[in-house]
Amino acid sequence: MLNKEELIRYNRQIILPDFGIEGQEKLKSSSVLVIGAGGLGIPNLSYLAAAGVGRIGLVEFDEISLSNLQRQVMYKTNQAGESKGKSAVKMIQELNPNVSVDYFETRLDAENALEIIGDFDLVVDGSDNLPTRYLVNDACVLLGKTLVYAAVFRYEGQVSVFNAQRKDGSRGPNYRDLFPTPPPPEMVPSCNEGGVFGALTGIIGAMQANEAIKLLAGLGIRLDGRLFLFDSQYFTARFLNIKSNTENPVSGDHPTITELIDYEAFCGLSEVENEADEITVQELHQMIKSGNAPFILDVREPYEYAISNLNGLNIPLSNLENEIGQLPQNETTVIHCKSGQRSLKALEFLKKEGFSKIKNLKGGILAWQKEIDHSMEIY
C-alpha cells in the first residue's frame, strides 16, 4: 500500500492512463539490480529511484575520475578519487528515501554473479565491456531473469530487452542470439580509444530505465525480440528484429553452457600466455631506480600521454606498424598503455615481427599510479 507521502510524490505518474495506483504498487514491490554506476548506470539509478522502485541493487567497484564527468553527471569535480558506488547510494537515498538500496562493492564475476543476480526481479546492465555483458546475460538465462541491455560507443547506442518472459511461459531472445560469439579484441576499441558522446549515455540510459519501469509496471510494448539502434550524430534510429537461435549455447535446444565460465578468456582478454612476457610496475620501478631503465614504449593516444606518462616513446597502437622502425630490436623494451590491454596487443604484434626482448607492463598507467606514484593524474 502507498502512504500519503508516496501518493503525493508519484502523483504525476499515478494519474497516467494505464498506470494508476496498481502500477505504482507494482513498482514499490519490485527489485532491480543495476550493473555499474557509470554513463548508463547513472540515468538508470536516477529514474528507477525517482519512479519508486522498492529496492535497487547496485554493483560497482570503481572510483570517480575527472574523465568520468563528461558523461557521468551525478558526480562532482571535488569527488575525484571517491567511490562511485557510495556516491550513487547517497544520491538515491537523498532523491527518494522510500527506496532501499543494496550495494555490492565488488567486480561481478563467475563466482558471485548467480548469488547477486538471483535476489532481484529484473537486471539492468550498464557495464562497458564484453566479458561482463556475456556474464550477465548467461546468469540471467540460467536464473530465468529478464535483462534490460544497452551499449554505447562514440555517437551510437543500442537498447534491447533480453530473456523476457512471455505469456506462454517461454523466454524471448537473449544477448547470445544477437552476438553468438565475441569479435576479436582488436575489433572492439574501448571508450578510452574510441571515445563516447556524453549526452548519448544519458539518452540511452534513460531508454533503459524506461523499459525497466514498463516491465515492472506491466505497461506498453517492450523491446523483446527487437534491438533499437540510435545514431546521435545524425539523429537516425532503426530497429533490428532478433530471433531465438536453436543453437544458442546457453538457451538453445542442446545447451552446452550450464554454468558460468571464464568470460575474460571467452572474449580473448585473458592474461599473457607466458608470464615471462609480463613485468609488474614494482619490477619496472626497481629497474629505473637501479639505473637499468629499459626502453619504454607507450601505445596510448597522444592526448593520454599529455595527461600522464612514464617518459617513454609515444606511438599509438594504431600507428605501431608504420613506425616500427623507431624501436630498438636488441634492447629490453617495456610496453604500456592505460590498463594493459592495448599494450598486450602491441606485444603480440611485435613478437610476430621478430622482437624478443619485450614485456607488457601489467596494469599499465593505472597500476603505476596506484602502486608507485599516487600524484599521477588518472583519466
Contacts 24+ apart (CB under 8 A), 368-373: 368/281, 368/310, 368/336, 369/308, 371/281, 371/282, 372/281, 372/282, 372/285
- 3 state SS of 159: strand
HSE of 7, CA atoms in CB hemisphere, 13 A: 5
Determine contact, residues 264/274, Cβ cutoff 8 Å.
no
Cα–Cα distances (Å) from 131 to 123, 238, 260, 264, 298, in that order, read 16, 26, 11, 5, 25
DSSP character at residue 188: S
Please list the residues that pair with 335 across neighbouring strands. 297, 360
Residue 191 appears among annotated catalytic residues: yes
The active-site residue, picked from 191, 261, 288, 313, is 191
| DSSP per-residue codes, 84-142 | HHHHHHHHHHHH-TTSEEEEE-S---TTTHHHHHTT-SEEEE---SHHHHHHHHHHHHH
348: three-class secondary structure by DSSP: helix
Q: Is 140 a catalytic residue?
A: no
Amino acid in the structure at residue 309: N
Distance CA 225, CA 216 (A): 18
Query: What are the strands of the beta sheet with 313-314, ordered from one edge?
Result: 278-279, 358-361, 333-336, 295-298, 313-314
Q: Measure the CA–CA gap between 179 and 353, rounded to whole angstroms.
A: 32
- Exactly one of 337, 365, 366, 367 is catalytic; name it: 337
**Of 105, 65, 108, 107, the residue nearest 86 (C-alpha):** 105
Buried b or exposed e, range 323-345, using 16+ CB within 10 angstroms: eeeebeeeebbbbbbbbbbbbbb
CB 316 within 8 A of CB 336: no
Give the H/E segment covering residue 307. helix 302-307
CA pair distance 281, 242, nearest whole angstrom: 45
Contact 159, 209 (CB under 8 A): no
Q: Which residues are catalytic, by number?
A: 191, 337
